[in-house]
Amino acid sequence: MATPKKSATLSAVERRAEELDTIAAVLPMERRDELAELLTDEDVETLRHLVNQGMGDNTLRALTSDLAYLEAWGLAATGRCMPWPAPEALLLKFVAHHLWDPEKRAADPDHGMPDDVDKKLRRQGFLKSTGPHAPATVRRRLANWSTLTKWRGLDGAFASPALKSAIRLAVRAVPRTRRRKSAKAVTSDVLAKLLKTCTTDSLRDVRDRAILMVAFASGGRRRSEIAGLRLEQLIEEAPIEVADGPPLPSLAIHLGRTKTTTGEQDDVVYLTGRPVEALRVWLAAAKIDKGSVFRGIGRWGKVSRRALDPQSVNAILKQRAEIAGLERDEFSAHGLRSGYLTEAANRGIPLPEAMEQSRHRSIQQASSYYNSATRRSGRAARLL
């Protein structure tokens, strides 16, 4: 009797893997086979439904990642598949397992996430950090848990006073300083050092130079937007006339769907001068006449047909920082975004004008990217 049951289980896993394949074009997943074993049929159907609803790619990736983590944690913590909707007690257990006091844990091994749960999640690759989770991570996973519950047509206890109180008290007990996505902004002086590492005619240098210049000059585009950029989004514009030299080439980038917009909104940003030239050199060298703009390059210099992964954009920037003699851990692709706005402020460009290029939705959000060091030495801090 055991053999048929095993075959049936394998059949269900294989079927889920095939169903995940049907949405892979919209929802790229490197761990498809692992997810097929971990997620339930209902989980996969929920993801398919979200894809059909036209939810943004990054949102879907975050939902899938958090759903997989929740299923893995639930199985490790309770020995059973995740119940939908989750009872309040399970939500409180999730908070207790992820927001805990390291000092109390040192004196009481039962405080926080149990060792057996910790080991199971690490063995599966779901848990990598040490210590309690960041409150923002816990809140995001709870929010996505709530979203997935609602998409199943169910109600959860996510608004319960007990859960809100547990999170508030846990955060107060163990205060954490929120770290920036990039410790340092990639301002023009830093960018110049990075570009000096891309001076040869090799495909990698030509590509990386174009990536850095386009990402910065187009308003500090997100790594997902750079990785997903397609030739169809680039529109040639009339050259810009200047008084002291030849006309500057100009290009419009139609962003389509971004983190804060839908595909129906036609947000446009512009490139002028050197970034346009760098982009043209890359497209010519890679012989790209359609599809993805920025692509992987194989060991023997062959340009892939597939777009770069967003994480590769981050890796490229860190690698260039290291070659330039900078601390790679102090920079990330997000530093291009904060760096663009910081540089705009340093040059006296009004924030609303800079926001037209960065496409931030609010002044509060945009101004939060200004680095503390720049603000500390700026005119606003030296009025007396």
CB atoms within 10 A of CB 78: 13
Here the tokens at position 281 are 């050199």
Query: Distance (Å, rounded) from C-alpha 169 to C-alpha 185?
Result: 33
- Look at residues 278, 282, 256 and name the one whose alpha carbon lies nearest to residue 269: 256
The answer to whether residues 156 and 85 touch, using CB atoms and an 8 Å cutoff, is: yes
End-to-end CA distance of the chain: 84
Intervals of the chain under pLDDT 70 = 1-11, 13-36, 51-58, 174-183, 257-266, 362, 364-366, 368-384
Instruction: Using alpha carbons, list the distances in angstroms from residue 17 to 37, 48, 269, 359.
Output: 8, 13, 39, 38
Please tell me the predicted confidence (pLDDT) of residue 3: 39
CATH number of the structural domain 188-377: 1.10.443.10
Phi-psi region of 117 (alpha: psi -120 to 50; beta: other; left: phi over 0): alpha
Specify the domain boundaries for CATH 1.10.443.10 within the chain. 188-377
165: Cα separation from own chain's centroid:
29
How many residues appear in the chain? Answer: 384
- The structure tokens 């079927």 sit at 15
Residues 6+ apart with CB under 8 A from 90: 74, 78, 83
Please tell me the predicted confidence (pLDDT) of residue 57: 65
Please tell me the predicted confidence (pLDDT) of residue 2: 39
Residues 6+ apart with CB under 8 A from 176: 134, 135
Whole-model pTM: value is 0.60
Phi-psi region of 294 (alpha: psi -120 to 50; beta: other; left: phi over 0): beta
Which tens digits make up the pLDDT trace of 134-148? 888 899 999 999 988
